[in-house]
A and B are shown apart, each in its own frame.
Chain A
């Protein structure tokens, strides 16, 4: 086993060169280069974290704006609905008033017309009576040769008409 057989001859050289080369490795690579590599990693991690934070902030701001927009939108919609309702209300009131006026006018016209009809009917009845009276006088004179006075004839006619 050379490790033991050569120990006496080689240990000093082994230890010396190991210290030399491991020393170089430690001081040049470990102390000199590794911190820079890790620094780069840390920088990148920082950059990523910062970017993520910025993105999150932007998203939050966007959410906030959307929320504000939504609130405003809701307000606008409510206002619009109020205006529409008011207009509808007004229109309904107006049309109701108009309808009422028209109804009144119609009622009045109807009443007048009924009055006129009544008058016309009364006049017509009076006419029929007078005509019937004259006719009755004529018929009696012709058939019986009796001259009947007007009031008598009228009375008889009225009786007959009342009987129907």
Chain B
């Protein structure tokens, strides 16, 4: 099959859907690759680079559209562009079918098979095709870089000869792919990073990236993120209030805020209100990655950078991936090439559009003159549902304290009972036994007690040396033999002498072998 990539027509779009690298892989699958002259230029790929790997350069756009079977693109086509397609052709690009209903109908009418890169289902097998994630990753990284560009201080704290520098404090709202990428970038630049998400199960991921999870004390059955394909679901008004309260508290202390909160097919929730912006320190920066959907910050203006009266910069760019066109293109082109690889199961250059396949079915929005959107739910659930038991474990602090107190009481009771019964036994013994015995007895009991306390702390790995050394010191029985050896009875002397000899072997053998063993334990 012939695969072609045209130049992107949207203004300011620098990405391209095919790179020399992805073309090599496509050719290995048995396809021929075409590219419109200069299409890769703004992404840093020259025509020569394409030619070098055997891609045919096509001079005009019309020629490209008429000559290939599959068109790969980044942005959705506009109506004009769509007219250039002919029946039986395949389009692979972002499409946003929910928002582009009429376009989808036109594509279906024209008999174009459309594979929407934004509709690839979120299952493990399809991760390599998940272009939304690769773009979000870039956006998260770039958001921090943009913020740094507009922020007048270091990210990392330093103590220099010229004085002490406080580290920047970054708050990331929404820990999806973009949020996590932002967290990773911010922490690696040395900033103190806080992160918030409505899905409590991502706390672990946030902490693994080195940020601190902003914990919200709120008792509500959280909706399981797994049921929405790993995306956040809208939260209740009470929860939202609680959340805003927390942000209000944080606003004066954070220097940089990155908001990435999106809910599928809805306007972005407003999470950073005017009064929060007003409460921020002058020089602070807000980067709103949800600007395209209205923005998480109340003051965000799409595609613009504004500076408020109190000198807070709010960045509402929507083209972060395009600002890193080389990186974005190579990731996007790789995603596309994986989709094509799935469409070419026999690696022989023939496309098999298998509508039984979960991934292909999910991503295809028009096929054989019909609209195939929305897809049925995938047969494989994206993320394993959170076991409900895990939720039950999360007790409120009060309950936890209650439980701990109960455990403590039970322990105290057990200990007191043991002590009491022990004391009664000792007292009973004291009633009949003479004082001379009891004197020794107290020594015995205390020694057992000390022994128990001390031995519990012995490292597991040192149990063998412990046995050898206790062996050596249990030869203290030599004292008994030494005391008796001087007896005037010959029999006693002989038995005692045997005792001394055996104990002496043990003392020396035990200590020496312990020393030998301990000397072997070495740190790396």
A binds B: no
